[in-house]
Structure 1
Amino acid sequence: MSTALNVQTDELPALLAEGLDARWQSFLQRCSEPQAQWYQEFAQSEARPKLLLAIAASPIFLDYCQRFPQALIDLQQQGLLDAPLSAGELTEQLAAECDACSNADELAKTLRQFRYRHWLRLVWRDLNRLCDMVATTAELSALADVCVQQALAFLHRELCREWGEPQSADGRPQQLSVIAMGKLGAGELNLSSDIDLIFSYPEAGSTVGGPRSVDNQEFFIRLGQRLIKALDARTADGFVFRVDMRLRPYGQSGPLVVSFDAMEEYYQDQGRDWERYALIKARCIAGDEAANQRLMASLRPFTYRRYLDFSAIESLRDMKAMIQREVARRSLHNNIKLGAGGIREIEFIAQCFQLIRGGQEISLQQRPLRIILDELRDMELLPAPVVDELQAANVFLRNAEHAIQAWRDEQTQQLPDAPAPQAALALSMGFDSWEAFTAALAEHRQRVDEHFANIIAAPEEESSTDRAAIQRWEVLLNDPDADSLTEELQAAGYNDAAEVARRLLALLTGAGVQRMQGSARERLDDFLPLLLEQAQEAEDSGRA
């Protein structure tokens, strides 16, 4: 049997067909003889159109098949390739595989093979429109949940054998609570997203029954470190999920794990507006269920105020302005998440109403974006035509995001600038040309941007040149790095910009600032950008 694909011009655009046959033959040569035979037959079966789309629109798809050549075969032979899988079914599969592991290295290998097997299945289903966007994001979220849960269960047992079981002062066993934030928290994970996590544990105490006793925080910090390594570390088998812990209390300068009481105290005393915004999507995905419910109940008053909180609008305006400055600085106008009319603006519209009214309207305390938009329509807070356009734009943008990420399994929302990935994106989205796709995209983004301006954008009289200049400094100081800060200070005319940047970074990353009380930190956040702008004006006046 020939090893050639023999792609016809009516099957794929010429840009995507070029070189595909050579890649296919190279792939088959790396397979075992039975595997190569199966793939040759599969390529001539009724599944051929789906296979061609998958390997043309996602070069990494074929790379992963080469890394794990048996994965696609097993999926197809088990009837799973085209099928949806519930969280329960994924749990059952992975639990059985983890039970066969005898150490952390075997666990890491099992988790990675499981992730890539189901990534292939999900990309196959998504690119071929065998499921809709909601189903894709729900299954990706379930996949992440299950990987975290099973890895944590294995590592908890392993650490208990070394250090004993963590218990409260009155002898109750303790478990690590894992809070998912962002897209995972909302059950809306994308194809190549990292996962934002926060770790906590119920009560102080110490371990019992092991060779030596340690306090609970030390136990859970070690457990959290092992969990991150099991998921995030890159091995010969790849990675499971990139893990981001920066949303935890005190950020990167804070402890990896804190108790429930310490977390509640932090948000009450020092929590800032952006943390309220982040906690809207918070969801416990691992740990003791009753304890997790207690934790989330304790955090709810910080997120959702009992009164109508119209100050949230100004906070979201500031956050969006900071993002816009970052978009301009990094030339991210073609970013379908952060650019004008992108995914982030749709999220801001929904979360504006959640922060303002969520304390009084329990139905607005839900996490998924599409459900909140429907609630806003039903409550007559947004007109039905507006909600319809936002829902349609969200589906279009999220489908485009998946197609972009399917190309190389990279965490990006930037529109491609090379012809081949452009052709793949247009094909995945059902358009005959890149021009037709970008025209449709522009229409969606324009509608979103208009609705965002009507609901959240600041009045024109507030958009002064002075405010814009101050916001430039707010962007840089919100997540500072030495190079960007030095570059902007030089552009602003500062003498010895590198030294000013160094001192600012030392101040902002110092323990004193990191642990400031909420009102004090807010005053500092307001003061520093104003100081930098006034200092620049003073230098300009001196030079004049």
Structure 2
Amino acid sequence: MKVLAPADFPPLLSERIDNYRQQFIDANPDYLTWFEQQIADPEFSGQLDRVWCSSQYALNICCRKPALFRDLVDSQMLQASYQQTSIDENLSLLLGNITTQEQLDSLLRINRGREMLRIIWRDINRLADLEETTRDISLLAQASIQQALAFHHQQLAAIYGRPMASIDGVLTEQTLLVIGMGKLGAWELNLSSDIDLIFCYPHRGETDGDKKSLDNGEFFTRLARKLIQSIDQITVDGFVFRVDMRLRPYGESGALVTSFSAMEQYYQDQGRDWERYAMVKARVVAGEPQASAQLTTLLRAFTYRRYIDFSAFEALRAMKKMIRQELKRRRLDSDIKLGAGGIREVEFIAQSFQLIRGGRERELQERRLQTVLNTLAEKNYLPAEAVAELQAAYIFLRNTEHAMQAFNDQQTQTLPVDDWPRAALAMALGFQQWQAFSEALAGHRANVSQHFQHIIAEQTEPAVANKTPHWDDIWLGASDEAQALGYLTAAGHEDSENVLARLQHLLDDKIVRRMPPVSRARLDQFIPLLLQAVANTDSPSSTLLRIMPLVESVLRRTAYIVLLVENPGALKQLVILCAGSPLIAEKLAKQPVLLDELLDTRSLYQVPEKEALRQQLQQQMLRVGWDDLEAHMDGLRYFKQAHQLQISAAEVTGKLPLMKVSDYLTFIAEVVLEHVLELAWYNLVAKHGRPQKAVGIACDKDFIIVAYGKLGGIELGHDSDLDLVFIHNAAAGLTTDGDRPIDNSLFFTRLGQRMIHIMTARTPAGMLYEVDMRLRPSGSSGLLVSSLTAFAAYQKGDAWTWEHQALVRARVVAGDQQLGKAFETLRQQLLCQPRDEGNLKEQVGAMRQKMRDHLLPKGLEQANPPIFHLKHGTGAIVDIEFMVQYAVLAWSHQHPALAVFTDNIRILEALQQAGLFSIAEAEALTEAYKAYRAHAHRLSLQQQASEVPLADFAQHRAAVVTKWLQVIG
């Protein structure tokens, strides 16, 4: 921002410069020589003139307290940026020897004048940016509160004793906690801010005074009153900060000080939307650290919902509407804070995203507005251009606010109407004329207003175009049954009677009948929009009936309904996906939080590669402590479900072929397993230390996760479980190196148990994966985690042929790279052993028949017309898999390339390249395998069994049966 030289000042100000200088000399003749020396420096002279012409308050301080002014100048403090601790350290030094409240109150006010002069000087001369200015004012307020609180606590404790509470049978001293709300909490105080405070204390109890004792509540109430008096009361030295207590529970009628339990009860039972909005910036500015952390957690639970909460828009709109009505009544259009395009609208924009998404995204649980705006740009919630305009407008508006308040130390956001303060304001912002400043201000406010209208303002268009009034009539019962059925049938419904019955069932639901008026209004707005949206599908009835369980699951959390009302695109995507797949509809009903993924179609249908998935998971978990197991488990479940939804969406809409679907589902599982191993490892090491490979030498993660089955074969399906084996390579007979050491083998057993718990525990977010460990050595009766040596001995001496078949699809998916290479070498050796082909054929054929007898539904192939089971039928998927496994076990000793890959497609390619299968045979089996799996995937999305008319796959089946007879017999 431009800084004007005195020569460029508006005439109304430049003609006052000499008068201001003479005013200082007349008031302080002893400072004449010093003053003349200072103004001989052109740079200082220019700074002085800008400050005195912009701020009568600064001029008065300099004239009334010349020693203070001189000290700031001579010490170069006016030119220096403070460290974070400077203000508190300076105040502590100043208050070092006080003994009375009168001394405290006087010195707090003197300190305030000194620091405010310095802050105004640096702000007007643009020696400090907006962030430094607001930070220093906030630090001044915080230091003043903390010092006054400490003094008064000590004084009261000397009379009544220390406030105590029994915690787990131990008497513990209690302290008052001060919550800074609004701009104080966000480090954003302006030059003449009130400070909004809330007082609370952790536990009830009483003081331990010998002669007098008080209930803790009474003690802290007296302490709070003393604190307010020292900060707020106007004395001959002025005041420190105006204190506003109206944001406390129950407002002005509530208790001045509240216990944690009472505060938690209030916010749970009676907390209102505007209080959630206020709590976004709340910060404990004074109090014991452990209690502060506890209180912060309590407040966060009230402020941020665990789910996406678009109801925040309604609350913000209502608040903004009330503000505008009040502005209109009082004719305050020139208010740069509350008026259209003002500071409050920028705050509303940022905080709407915080309230909506902050419960899920820790990055948005940020108090400072500019940081939040940057995060919104980084996450593509707002275009970078919009954020740049909002940032520029916010800085301009806040600098304008500061210049207006610096003029007379008055709390004002209303633009001046007189020529003199107008000229001072324009000059402080770098303009020679009021008109130029006014035009720049209008431009910024127009930008803010435009973005605000786009994001938060009342909707003027219906969420679904051309919505017919019939849908409202059907839902609200204004139509009789015959009319309603006629409307539904005319709209293309194939099952009108069932749809009408389901709507009536919903209308009669006890939850709906007992809904608060706001929630019921949301539902009444949504159902007609949904009816219109499904009318555009090929099967309106089945689509609607698939979506109804989702609607019923969110009746107590209608913020999800608001999400769909607020975002027509999300409603459209919901209908498209549920029309395409009942599986998707079921998953959304179980986890409505996934509705958020429908908001951005750009990401919905774009499935990232494995490295991008890994980075996304790391970023998502960045702000979650490794010791917060519950948060990690929830985060992992959401990560998996969100990306599986993307894959399902891409598959249903034909944007992703089968092989890619399996690849990406496999990638998700691998990335999740990597994180699960890291998490379980961290938890156990924190408890027991690291396993040792030699005495005094800790080993790294000598542990691997080996995937079998579909995960091993890179063929994971939408609801596949994970066939896993855990292997370690730690030294026997040694222990971990922690304070609570355990045997190495026990450590790795617990590591495996912890991983299984993380994946299989049923949390509100569901299960991560089902895990099957039966392929480990000796199956369910074997050790959960084997050493590589024990695994090798079992495979070489005791494993059945079917276990070697399973080994064909085994690969390392997470863990130590060196151990992983050792496993791959062992696998290659095991698969490449020479085998008796006749005996092998007999065992493979017998196992195949046993599976068919056990898993193939009876009578399918004998039905009329015959039914083909895509997985277990004769000539189906499992036949191809068994042929491939037989080929690897039978011929790898001559053709080691067969034992390299774990997926059937590449093994078939290797068989063809080795000349063991002809090109035509390999291609026929490959095409059959792909066709079977693609159709099975589609049936899975439709929640249908893998059964099809045999005639549809007769050619593929014939090719597989022919090759089976040739290879196995």
TM-score of the two chains, using structure 2 as the length reference: 0.46
Larger RCO (alpha carbons 8 Å, 6+ apart): 1
Shift of 1:22: 3.4
Distance in 2, Cα, partners of 1:28 & 1:151: 36
Deviations 1:131-181 (A, max 9, x none): 111111111111111111111111111111121111113421111100000
| Runs of 5+ consecutive residues of structure 2 not aligned to the other structure | 463-514, 520-969
Structure 1 SS opposite 2:172: coil
Output the CA distance in 2 between the equivalents of 1:155 and 1:42.
42
Q: Please state if 1:402 is matched with 2:402.
A: yes
Structure 1 partner of 2:453: 453
Query: Runs of 4 or more off by more than 4 Å in structure 1?
Result: 519-523
Alignment of 1:153-168 (within 5 A): 153-168=150-165
Aligned to 2:41: 45
Structure 1: gaps of 5 or more residues: 1-7, 463-518, 524-544
Name the counterpart of 1:304. 304
> Equivalents in 1 of 2:321, 2:262: separation in Å?
32
| Most deviating of 254-263 and 78-87 | 78-87
- Any idea what SS the aligned residue of 1:167 has? strand
- Specify the SS of the correspondent of 1:276: helix
Task: Name 2:313's counterpart in structure 1.
Answer: 313
Structure 1 counterpart of 2:78 = 81
Seq. identity, %: 50
Provide the residue aligned with 2:219 in structure 1.
Answer: 219
Equivalent residue number for residue 120 of structure 2: 123
Q: Which amino acid aligns with 2:176?
A: L
- Residue identity in the other structure for 1:239: F
Distance 2:37 2:217 in 1: 55
The 5 Å alignment of 1:133-532 reads 133-169=130-166, 170-460=170-460
Give the match for residue 99 of structure 1.
Answer: 96
Change (3 A) 1:210 1:76: farther
- Output the amino acid matched with 1:43: I
Output the CA distance in 2 between the equivalents of 1:260 and 1:77.
Answer: 48
Contact 1:11 1:49 in 2 (8 A): no
**1:466 maps to which residue?**
none
* Alignment partners' CA distance in 2, 1:439 and 1:81: 32
Inter-partner Cα distance in structure 2 for 1:9 and 1:410 = 25
> Is the deviation greater in 201-210 or in 408-417?
201-210
Q: Work out the CA distance in 1 between the residues paired with 2:418 and 2:375.
A: 40
Q: Does 1:12 align with 2:16?
A: no
Find the aligned partners of 2:36 and 2:418 in 1 and give their Cα distance. Answer: 30
Higher radius of gyration, 1 or 2: 2
**Cα distance, 1:447 vs structure 2:** 0.7
Provide the C-alpha distance between the structure 2 equivalents of 1:141 and 1:293, rounded to a whole number of angstroms.
20
Q: Which deviates more, 195-204 or 71-80?
A: 71-80
Secondary structure class of the residue paired with 2:7? coil
Cα distance, 1:341–1:205 mapped onto 2, change above 3 Å: same
**Alignment coverage as a number of residue pairs:** 459
CA 1:522–1:160 in structure 2 vs 1: closer, same or farther (change >3 Å)?
Answer: farther
CA contact (8 A) 2:109 2:240 kept: yes
With 50-59 and 66-75 compared, the bigger mean Cα shift is at 66-75
2:106 alignment partner AA = K
**1-side partners of 2:83 and 2:343: how far apart?**
26
In structure 1, the partner of 2:67 is 70
1:338-360: CA deviation from partner (whole Å, max 9, x where unpaired): 11000000000011111111111
Task: Say if 2:426 and 2:432, in contact at 8 Å, map to a contact too.
Answer: yes
CA displacement 1:252-276 (0-9 Å, x = unmatched): 0011101011111110011000000
Distance 2:256 2:6 in 1: 55
Is the 1:164–1:208 Cα contact (8 Å) retained in structure 2? yes
Cα distance in 2, alignment partners of residues 76 and 91 from structure 1: 20
**Secondary structure at the counterpart of residue 325 of structure 1:** helix
Specify the alignment match of 1:488 in structure 2: none
User: In 2, are the aligned partners of 1:336 and 1:401 still within 8 Å (CA)?
Assistant: yes
In 2, Cα distance between the equivalents of 1:110 and 1:382?
47
Q: Is residue 199–residue 257 contact of structure 1 (8 Å, CA) maintained in 2?
A: yes
Please say if residues 58 and 406 of structure 1, whose CA atoms lie closer than 8 Å, have aligned partners that are also in contact: yes
CA contact (8 A) 2:284 2:292 kept: yes
SS in structure 1 of the partner of residue 189 of structure 2: coil
**Residue in structure 1 matched with residue 129 of structure 2 by the alignment:** 132
CA distance in 2: counterparts of 1:250 and 1:353, whole angstroms: 27
- The Cα of 1:188 is off from its aligned counterpart by 0.7
Inter-partner Cα distance in structure 2 for 1:20 and 1:387:
40
Give the drift of 1:87. 3.1
- Say which SS state the counterpart of residue 199 (structure 1) adopts: strand
Partner of 1:109: 106
In 2, the alpha carbon distance for the partners of 1:27 and 1:277 equals: 46
Alpha-carbon contact 1:276-1:302 (below 8 Å) kept? yes
| CA distance in 1 between partners of 2:335 and 2:163 (Å) | 45
> Residues 247-298 of structure 1, C-alpha deviation per residue, up to 9 Å, x if partnerless?
0001000111010111111100110000000000000010001101101101
Query: 2:28 maps to which residue?
Result: 31
TM-score by length of 1: 0.82
